[in-house]
Structures are given as C-alpha cells and as structure tokens.
Amino acid sequence: MTSTLPLTLPEFAERAAEVLPDGVLRYFAGAAGDEITLADNVVAWQRLALRQRVLVDVSKRDLSVEILGVRRPHPVIMAPMAWQTLANPGGEIAAAQGIGAAGGIYTMSCWASQHADDVAAQAADTTRWMHIHIFPDRDITQRLVDRAVRGGFEALVLTADQPVAGRRDRSMRAQFARPGSPNLADLAPGSLEPAQTWEDVAELVTSSPLPVIVKGLLEPGDAELAIQAGAAGIVVSNHGARQLDTVLSTASALPAVVEQVAGRVDVLVDGGIRRGSDIVKALALGADAVLIGRPLLWGLAVGGADGVRHSVELYLKELDIALAVLGVTSAAELEPSIVLPAPWSA
C-alpha cells in the first residue's frame, strides 16, 4: 500500500469505512443493542477536562510505563479482536508486525483468522499476549495455553465478560463470510462457557506458567475477586460495548476499580480511547496502560502493518504533545489531579 496514509486518527476511521465491505464494517464498528454504551465509551473520556501547567521544562519527555513489571516504551497495547483477515489479507500477522514496529504489545484473539504458530513465527520480534477463554472443554483452554507458551507469548488475556455472545443489532444482518478461526480449527470447535466462574480463573492461574490478565471487569468487587484468584492484571473493559448495552462506560468505571486494586496488580483499560489525550486521562485516573481496539483495525484495513504502525504513532505523537503542553514530563507519573469533570459536560 503506497498511497499516503491519513494524517489524523479520525481520518483513519473515515478511510476504513470507505474500504471495508458494509457487512464487515458493521461487525467491526457495531455493538450491543442501541449502542448507548458504545457512544458513551468515547464521550466519557471527552467529559473529562485537563488541567495544564505552564513554564515547566518539558524538553525531555518519557512515555514509558511499567507493564507486568517490565518497562515498555509506551502504554499502547492492541486489544484482542477476532478475524483480522477481514480487515486486511495480512491479518493478525500484519497487525502484530505493525504494532511491534511501533513498540506496542499485540494481543492475539483466540478467534484469530491465522494460526498462533504463524503469528509467533512471523512477528517474532513483537511482544505478544494470547487471548483465551475458559471453554466448556477445558482441554481446549489448556491446549491454547500450551500453544501460547510454545510461541513465546508472554501473558494470557482471559475474557471474563462473555458467558454468552452479546446481541448486536447492527451486525445481526451483516453479510460476510466468516473466515473461521484457523487458530481453533485444529482443536475442537470452540464455544462459549456460561458456567465459568472465579474457580476456573484460579485453576488457570495455578496451572499456567504465564501471567493471567482478566479482561472485562467494571466492578471493584470483581477486581478484588480477580486478585484473590491470582490474576497478574485486569482490564477494565465492557468488550467495546459489544456485550450488553447501557453497562457503564469504562472511563466511568475505572476510578472505583483503581481505588479497590490499590496498586496490587496492573490495571489496564479499554473502550473509546480515540486520542492521545484519552490515554493521558486513563493513566491519570490510575491505569497502567491502555488497550486500543477498533482504531487499530481501521489502521489495518487502510494500510496493513504500516497502517497499524502509523495509527499507533499518531496516538503517541498526540500523547507526547499532550504531556508537553500539560507541563508533565513522564506518562507514568500522571496524577489524578490533572483531570476534572469538564464544564461542557455539566
């Protein structure tokens, strides 16, 4: 892809809407029900205003943060998203290469349209996490864990908010051929497990050589249970508003979860993060890092690996400028006092 890549993040979304078939776009962009939470995931970050301090020496700025005890160049992680060959023939491999080139972590959905072994081989230089479910057949889960270990994936991201599939009105009639999940095809057909509980999480933590991050929590009480089960981290997430409409947006849910966790494990957040300034707000509210979903699919759709890399770089550029203008030199040291309820949201 040699055409000029977009200059802004919204332009990526517009270009993706032009290049993606209608059915695929509806599946990617859509969410549950009336999409109230989908909209509020974005707006909840916009409802926060930033306090800027001036005439601080910001000539040296540091975007690095610690994630699972490892210093990373910046806080951007690609969220697990199914079937990435629908966005671009390069699929998961291109996405992983792209985010790796930008210094970010790639989370591979277990519903991937390419096999984890191939992603591991062809994006060997990218720090990769493997997304998994507790499947009705626990042996499938175990085999995915083995595969993650074999492929050098460094953590497991366990989806907790999908006992059943959400009902997504926008994509219900979407016509597109599902690429299947070659990553699961050589295992028994994966299906969701409505009977999963925290006991399963504790068992997974005990048996897994990799740290387990529990994704899809909104309540402080669940964060506590995740810690009791031995999770190394949690993701405050509503699955991109795809599971149930009118659950809390993630910016609204984050502060109480951070308070409950009190630094005991890593707290990550995703949902509606569309600007570098949203990352500032997430970190200020106590997140250690952020996962970004749809915008990186738009990058993949528009420009393959290069598009993903460029999209991440746009976030980082915005993050860096935001820090400088706010008078802050370190992303890791952002304080809650830098955000306040915006007067325009009253």
Ligand X SMILES: Cc1cc2nc3c(=O)[nH]c(=O)nc-3n(C[C@H](O)[C@H](O)[C@H](O)COP(=O)(O)O)c2cc1C
Cβ-contact 85, 113 below 8 angstroms = yes
Length of the chain: 346
Q: Which of 37, 46, 109, 252 binds ligand X (CB under 6 A)?
A: 109
Number of Cβ within 10 Å of residue 20's Cβ equals 22
Residues 202-241 that bind ligand COI (CB under 6 A): 239
Nearer to ligand COI among residue 27 and residue 261 (C-beta): 27
**Helix, strand, or coil here: 266?**
strand
Cα–Cα distance between 52 and 37 in angstroms, integer? 29
Nearer to ligand X among residue 85 and residue 159 (C-beta): 159
Active-site residue (options: 115, 131, 239, 310): 239
Residues 246-305 that bind ligand X (CB under 6 A): 270-273, 292-294
Cα–Cα distance between 87 and 20 in angstroms, integer? 7
Q: Is 159 annotated in some ligand binding site?
A: yes
Cα–Cα distance between 50 and 104 in angstroms, integer? 25
Nearer to ligand COI among residue 239 and residue 281 (C-beta): 239
Cα–Cα distance between 298 and 39 in angstroms, integer? 17
Is 239 designated active site? yes
Q: Is 215 annotated in some ligand binding site?
A: yes
Q: Is 277 annotated in some ligand binding site?
A: no
Q: Check binding of 28 to ligand COI (CB under 6 A).
A: no
Report CA dihedral (283, 285, 287, 289) to the nearest 10 degrees: -20
Q: Which of 131, 147, 275, 310 binds ligand X (CB under 6 A)?
A: 131
Comparing every residue's Cβ against ligand X, the nearest one is 293
Q: Check binding of 242 to ligand COI (CB under 6 A).
A: yes
Cα–Cα distance between 88 and 228 in angstroms, integer? 40
Cβ-contact 15, 299 below 8 angstroms = no
Cβ-contact 227, 259 below 8 angstroms = no
Count, residues near ligand X per rule CB under 6 A: 22
Burial-class residue 259 by CB neighbours within 10 Å (0-12, 13-18, 19+).
Answer: exposed
The one of ligand X, ligand COI, none whose footprint includes residue 30, by CB under 5 to 8 A per kind, is: none
User: Would you state the structure tokens that stand for residue 161, as one six-digit string?
Assistant: 């908010």
Q: Check binding of 82 to ligand COI (CB under 6 A).
A: yes
> Residue 84, Cα to own-chain centre: how many angstroms?
14
CB 286, min distance to ligand COI, A: 26
Residues 28-47 that bind ligand X (CB under 6 A): 28, 41
User: Would you state the structure tokens that stand for residue 71, as one six-digit string?
Assistant: 């210093």
Q: Is 252 annotated in some ligand binding site?
A: no
CB 147, min distance to ligand COI, A: 18
The one of ligand COI, ligand X, none whose footprint includes residue 237, by CB under 5 to 8 A per kind, is: ligand X
**Helix, strand, or coil here: 166?**
coil
User: Would you state the structure tokens that stand for residue 111, as one six-digit string?
Assistant: 């519903």
| 235: phi then psi, degrees, rounded to nearest 5 | -115, 115
Burial-class residue 54 by CB neighbours within 10 Å (0-12, 13-18, 19+).
Answer: exposed
**Binding mask of the shown chain, residues 193 to 222, with x at each position contacting ligand X by CB under 6 A:** ----------------------x-------
Residues carrying an active site annotation: 239
Binding positions for FMN are 80-82, 109, 159, 215, 237, 270-274, 293-294
Site residues (vs ligand X, CB under 6 A)? 28, 41, 79-82, 109, 111, 131, 159, 215, 237, 239-240, 242, 270-273, 292-294
Binding positions are 27, 80-82, 109, 159, 168, 215, 237, 239, 242, 270-274, 293-294
Site residues (vs ligand COI, CB under 6 A)? 82, 111, 165, 239, 242
